[in-house]
Amino acid sequence: MSDQKPEAQPPEELPLDEDFMDPLADPDAELQRLTEERDEMRDRFMRALADAENARKRADKERRDAEQYGGTRLARDLLPVYDHLHRAIDAVPEDQRSTNAALLEGVELTLRELGNVFGKHGITVLRPEIGTKFDPELHEAMFEAAIPDTSAGDIIQLMEPGFMLHDRLLRPAKVGVSSTPAK
């Protein structure tokens, strides 16, 4: 046995990882790569921030819409009740109003309370005046008639009031409209 030591071999060179560059090799290239990576990350961060802000705004709008318009179906279902209460009042002849005063008063109070509830929830009644112009966004023409001393498109009769929920139409007002007057 000899006291000879094995000859020291140089360490094996390991391949460099693609993401790892020798900083001493080319500092300008490394700086350029890091700058591009930073810019890409900043862009991704700004886009993510914008997406989060847009999602927050969309959720806020949906919440407000749900608050304002969530009861639309219930409101539409209550409109016939309003109409029937008006018809009940109109059905009592003038000569019988004094005899049915208590009943009429109860119906009127109920109608007034329903109107207060509508107002509290942003429901407004559309009662176009006779002579105003027909607006297809707010009115539904039930008939046309040639009436003297009117212009074509004037409302000549209100058959049933319309209703708005805030800025949305719940039901158009049903009206009669003047056609071109007969000569």
CB 132 within 8 A of CB 151: no
Whether 2 maps to a domain, the answer reads: no
Structure tokens at 173: 């007002």
Whether 33 maps to a domain, the answer reads: yes
DSSP class of residue 94 equals: G
**Same domain (yes/no): 59, 91:** no
Number of domains in the chain: 3
Structure tokens at 24: 């001493």
CA atoms of 171 and 162, how far apart (whole Å): 5
- Alpha carbon 60 to chain centroid, angstroms: 11
Secondary element (H or E) of residue 155: strand 155-160
Consecutive sets of 10 residues in the chain, 183 residues long: mean pLDDT of each?
63 60 71 93 95 94 86 90 94 92 94 94 94 95 90 93 94 92 56
**Same domain (yes/no): 149, 112:** no
What pLDDT shows up at residue 99? 92
**Same domain (yes/no): 80, 106:** yes
**Same domain (yes/no): 127, 183:** yes
Q: Is the pTM of this model over 0.85?
A: no
